[in-house]
Amino acid sequence: MSNIEQTLSIIKPDAVERNLDNEIKEVFKNKGFSIVKEKKIQIEKSEAERFYKVHETKPFYNDLCAYLSSGPIVVMILQKENAVLGNRELMGATNPVEAEEGTIRKKYGISIDKNSVHGSDSIDNAKIEIDFFFKD
Ligand code: CMP
């Protein structure tokens, strides 16, 4: 039975700044993801704080929100069979030094903060995160 899902992907400021957004979009497409919607935007720190609210008690929360709002990002709705898990596998571990060969964070990530991409970690969060950026 098919299980088509949608998930939210963000190409983070470090990757957009290095003009890697088109190359990273090709990685997704070559792995069978459709990009259903996308936009290049820059968000306010207050919006980043709302987006990453689940991390608000973490010591890295302030830097994380400052970073996500520091430059343009590309937000995308990705779709394919089992998209949530597939995207997480394609991204690799949060820390690029721990990410496996062939993953986006291994190839493009600079550090645990500048790890080039974000992806929803569950189907429920995918819905919330898609609505966050694309609710009309
Ligand atoms: P992301 O998948 O966007 O979700 C939260 C982000 O916090 C994560 O990627 C990292 O870029 C960032 N981060 C910074 N420090 C840590 C840490 N110690 N553990 C997890 N995430 C971290």
95 CA to centre of ligand 1 in angstroms: 8
Catalytic residue positions, numbered: 118
Tokens 């596998």 sit at which residue? Answer: 89
Distance CA 15, CA 121 (A): 20
DSSP 30: H
pTM to 2 decimal places = 0.97
Beta bridge partners of 119: 9
pLDDT given for residue 7 in this prediction: 98
Q: Are 8 and 75 in contact (CB under 8 A)?
A: yes
pLDDT given for residue 122 in this prediction: 97
Q: Mark the ranges of the chain whose per-residue pLDDT is less than 70.
A: none
Distance CA 46, CA 43 (A): 8
pLDDT given for residue 47 in this prediction: 98
61 class by beta-carbon count within 10 Å (0-12 exposed, 13-18 middle, 19+ buried):
middle
Tokens 């291994």 sit at which residue? Answer: 106
Ligand 1 atom closest to Cα of 113? 11
Domains and CATH numbers, the chain: 4-134 (3.30.70.141)
pLDDT given for residue 1 in this prediction: 73
Ligand 1 atom closest to Cα of 68? 3
- Which tokens belong to 95? 């820390």
